Structure 1
């Protein structure tokens, strides 16, 4: 099904520690870059959606952008905040209520781990007192089980992270811009077995913005990337998720990432085999491994051979996380999903410089977060 929606502008702030700058300022950087990219002014935007996990209310950005009176809705949906903002903007175009819409996500997290409160997630205080709100434990448990079931080695986890840092070194907006050898990654401090320090992303800082329009506006502006399909989903019974790390029921656990990806591909009318460049959530390197299969790009267990053969490299058969992903860019919760879309738009336009994939036609983005939510898009030129 054609959505009749195109992306005409994509903008980023720099990612990483930026002392003296607020999350709001990073959002403004991204919005202004997206407007410039589209050849539009703020006064052209008819509706906006955006949010952050902890850096303020997106609608208040109008105080700096201009008091034009447009509807601006705040979105807060965990790691899917950016993806949910984009879905809202897309639906505004689809419904005919606007022809030019903005989605923005931003955050500025302090150093250290995220510190969610159990009560905010419908969990008893004792859950946090037992240390189960520490997300690294969940990621360690989940990938350890997956590796045992599907024959994935710890070496593969190190190679995925090595690729992330190598790609980040080619990305001028990335936080981590120094390559790290796989041997050093594997030998680094263990955080939660089998994941070492360099296999994880860090809570970070950054903003990302996307401008979507109707087909008529896109034709006038040019440089449009078509949004073929987009979907968000929440977890179903039997899933194995952040803050609920147990398997309920019998059989194979359900996957919210698989559900969201399947819905996005169905809406787009294409299959995973048609995709030329991919962004998947890599909160840690094990997540990239699992999400490649969950999103339909390989069978479970095939990732070991794919990674070893270099298939997920920039010059490989299926380039993955060409901008360095979360591992190299960090995880500003509100911005990550839209950063992924920015990278795919950049790749499809042929504007990625040293990290450019050879003539991609279709791209895919996937974000996953607590307590079991996913957002996916399929884009094309």
Structure 2
């Protein structure tokens, strides 16, 4: 199997950008990735793009150059850009292409995830009676987990405080204001045990990553190549239910993140004990806590001690969400997974500036979770 090297990354800032379209943001992200890699758009042989709001991400070629390349649009909820990454890498590993690009973008209005069940083919009454309110589901999930594994509310607040603090070091983050643990705990309770400042927000942004055959990396760029060792996408064995279902065999099933992480580790020949820095889906503070265990980085319940001791801080033994994660960056769905890869590439290259993990990290993990029950995990290394 051919190695796949990541030779360029580009990130449009996350936030609110007025009338600027998602496609325009995607074009900017592509240009940044091209500049980072040193290759020209004419060198790109194919593209994969994803978005929640934009059906035809391929329209970005109108802005960056109509070269006639094949371009495929994908959507897989919050795992959308992880899917774009996987398909781009697979196209290169198959031998069909030498170099390609994955891009993700979105432009969400406020409240985008609470009032449009039609996006998932659900009847209007799901929204009318409150069932399509993702914060409600996340609160129920976090409440159950924290009770079962003795995770305190203060630990949830510590996660959020850490991510706001990391976001303050990230010039492209949406929320760059730090909040104390007390401020987070005292913010309005949205869905117990999660307060308003423990949640991310839908927003706008775009990201792009350029990949090529590993043996050709030096031909295209002078950057230190970072290798995408694996990407695995999995669903639940009981199917998709999660946010909007009326029944779920919760006790008989486990999260798709568990399946995806195990598959990614196996394919990469790397274990969770080898991970130096991780980017985990933190739609809320509880999600980061849960995903630490589901990706094998710790055992259920160990998060309380690890987080209290600062293990997940930038200078800790297991840095998590060094760029602020979703809590600081917000979530333009189509771009989130590539944002994670962007951060890991900077960390592994030693280019993350004030948020650089010390000790020359060599292995990174990216994990995203897409309702209603799809997860992806990717392993990067030098």
TM-score higher than 0.5? yes
TM-aligned CA distance change 1:178 to 1:119, over 3 Å: closer
Greater mean deviation of Cα atoms: 368-377 or 316-325 = 368-377
> Which residues of 2 match residues 289-308 of structure 1 at below 5 A?
289-308=289-308
The aligned counterpart of 2:372 is 371
CA RMSD of aligned residues (A): 1.5
The aligned counterpart of 1:348 is 348
User: Any conservation in 2 of the 1:205–1:332 contact (CA below 8 Å)?
Assistant: yes
The aligned counterpart of 1:228 is 229
The aligned counterpart of 2:131 is 132
Give distance in 2, aligned partners of 1:170 and 1:118: 36
Give distance in 1, aligned partners of 2:17 and 2:120: 30
1:22 is displaced (CA, Å) by 1.1
User: Any conservation in 1 of the 2:24–2:63 contact (CA below 8 Å)?
Assistant: no
Give distance in 2, aligned partners of 1:246 and 1:280: 27
1:55 is displaced (CA, Å) by 3.4
1:267 is displaced (CA, Å) by 0.5
Give distance in 2, aligned partners of 1:322 and 1:206: 18
Greater mean deviation of Cα atoms: 309-318 or 69-78 = 69-78
Partner secondary structure for residue 155 of structure 2: helix
User: Any conservation in 2 of the 1:89–1:103 contact (CA below 8 Å)?
Assistant: yes
The aligned counterpart of 2:249 is 248
Give distance in 2, aligned partners of 1:107 and 1:242: 21
* Structure 2 stretches lacking a partner, 5+ long: none
* Structure 1 stretches lacking a partner, 5+ long: none
The aligned counterpart of 2:14 is 15
TM-aligned CA distance change 1:306 to 1:246, over 3 Å: farther
Give distance in 1, aligned partners of 2:330 and 2:143: 23
1:237 is displaced (CA, Å) by 1.2
Give distance in 1, aligned partners of 2:147 and 2:379: 31
User: Any conservation in 1 of the 2:164–2:175 contact (CA below 8 Å)?
Assistant: yes
- Deviation track 1:321-371 (CA, whole Å, cap 9, x = no partner) reads 000000000000000000000000000000000000011010000000211
Partner secondary structure for residue 201 of structure 1: coil
Matched, 1:28 2:31: no
The aligned counterpart of 2:171 is 172
The aligned counterpart of 2:147 is 148
The aligned counterpart of 1:257 is 257
Q: TM-score, normalised by structure 1?
A: 0.96
1:3 is displaced (CA, Å) by 4.8
TM-aligned CA distance change 1:379 to 1:307, over 3 Å: same
User: Any conservation in 2 of the 1:239–1:254 contact (CA below 8 Å)?
Assistant: no
- Deviation track 1:214-271 (CA, whole Å, cap 9, x = no partner) reads 02221322421011111111222188722237541754x3110111111110110010
The aligned counterpart of 1:213 is 212
User: Any conservation in 2 of the 1:100–1:213 contact (CA below 8 Å)?
Assistant: yes
1:169 is displaced (CA, Å) by 0.2
Aligned length: 379
The aligned counterpart of 2:266 is 266
Give distance in 2, aligned partners of 1:249 and 1:317: 32
Give distance in 2, aligned partners of 1:120 and 1:165: 30
Matched, 1:93 2:92: yes
Give distance in 2, aligned partners of 1:255 and 1:378: 19
Matched, 1:327 2:327: yes
TM-aligned CA distance change 1:249 to 1:83, over 3 Å: closer
Partner secondary structure for residue 167 of structure 1: helix
Partner secondary structure for residue 234 of structure 2: strand
Give distance in 2, aligned partners of 1:243 and 1:108: 23
The aligned counterpart of 2:107 is 108
